[in-house]
Chains A and B, each alone.
Chain A
Amino acid sequence: MKKSLNIVLVLTLITAFSGAFLAYWDRHTGPFIAENKRIELEKAIASVLPTHDAYTTRLIDRRTYYIATNKGEPVGTCFRVLGPGFQGNIAIMVGVKPDLTEITGIKTLEQIETPGLGTKIITDPANKEDPRWFPKQFVGLVIDKAITVLKNKKAVGPHQITAITGATITSKAVAKIISKGVSKYRQEWEEHVLGKED
């Protein structure tokens, strides 16, 4: 009985101490971590909606939308979309124009695609003149239909992009994630935001 009491006591003390210490540690590092995340989010918003100077957030159906403005005028909305890529989930920030017509830009936030092939969705070091040719293709795409991916052909239409050679699956995944996310966004936006104004 005495022995088991000792066991309980020692383990309780160890866990209590480590819990208390971690709580103290968290108070120190917490604000820095929150600040890092905020900077990262603002960078992502700035890269998909470069003309904005301020933004507000709006929560619709548990999804967060960042409504960006420039001198009070709306310049667009952006949001995070997530979906399966080649090896794991890809998270992308997508910006669209306020009138829901075109994509203004995309930025990959998280991915674990094949280094050197799938990672070209962020930058392509082999393309010296324009390493960001892949994400740039999405700028100006019209969002009324799903995006189609062309292999080894130059994309011309307003719903087309060219796939990365050697990373067709990743290219198609990115297009699919964005198409799905954008159409859901349109639907929710028309229902919750534009619908109310009528």
Chain B
Amino acid sequence: MAKKANPIGYEFNKGVWGENPVLAALLGLCPVLAVTNTAENGLAMGLATSFVLISSSFMVSILRKVIPKQVRIAGYIVIIATFVTMADRFLAAYFFEISKSLGPYIPLIVVNCLILGRQEAFASKNSIFRSLVDAIGMAVGFTWVLVILGGIREIFGSGSLFNIALFGDWFEPWMVMILPPGAFFTLGLMIAAYKLTNMKGA
């Protein structure tokens, strides 16, 4: 590597904040928008994606010198799909209700560009340790955004958080928040708040 390697703390923090996969890179928006109607769904999706991302980065980093360049994408996809299938079967076996409410979005993690992106941009070029740190940072960054987004939508759209009712009978749920437009509104405001915070810091 000609370029000087970044400190390891940077590789972790960039996923959590600086290059957050959702707020900065706008990657993997399909699950971000589609499943975050409750905080619980957001958390489950975040954890499933984290598992796939961390395991795939680990495997791809181990095999980075073995996989020929010409077929690397095919190789990555097979590795990712294996871990996605594992996660899907695991949820269906032990968390049946969550698996039902996430529906096809668990198998669709295969095509989440966040995961393939990290393999191509990082795990295939870096050591196992650095790839793991990078993947964990990105996974944390992805998960916290999904939980906050799901939490905001659940509070306004259903009047509850993690299925615990927050308000009395007077509260009229904002239907729009659990519908697709609510996801766009909330994510837009979150990105605006993120940009604003970064501008102040600069």
Q: Which of A81-131 contact B (CB under 8 A)?
A: 114-117
Known: A14-B75, A14-B78. A29 touches B93 (CB 8 A): yes
Stretch at the interface among A20-28, A136-144, A145-153: A20-28
A29/B90 in contact, CB under 8 A? yes
Q: Which of B68, B96, B173 contacts A36 (CB 8 A)?
A: B96
A/B pair count, beta carbons within 8 Å: 60
Q: How large is the interface on A (under 10, 10 to 19, 20 to 34, 35 or more residues)?
A: 20 to 34
Q: Which of B79, B81, B86 contacts A25 (CB 8 A)?
A: B86
Binary flags per residue of B65-106, CB closer than 8 Å to A gives 1, else 0: 011101100110011011001100110111010000000000
Question: Which chain A positions have C-beta within 8 A of B94?
Answer: 32
A36/B82 in contact, CB under 8 A? no
Q: Is A3 an interface residue (CB 8 A)?
A: yes
Contacts from B to A (Cβ < 8 Å) = 37, 63, 66-68, 70-71, 74-75, 78-79, 81-82, 85-86, 89-90, 92-94, 96, 157, 173, 175, 178-179
8 tightest Cβ-Cβ pairs between the two chains A and B: A32-B93, A18-B82, A29-B93, A36-B96, A29-B89, A115-B178, A33-B92, A7-B68
A-B contacts, 21 of them at CB < 8 A, read A3-B68, A6-B68, A10-B66, A10-B68, A10-B71, A10-B75, A14-B63, A14-B78, A15-B78, A18-B79, A21-B82, A22-B85, A22-B86, A29-B92, A29-B93, A30-B89, A30-B93, A32-B92, A32-B93, A33-B93, A117-B175
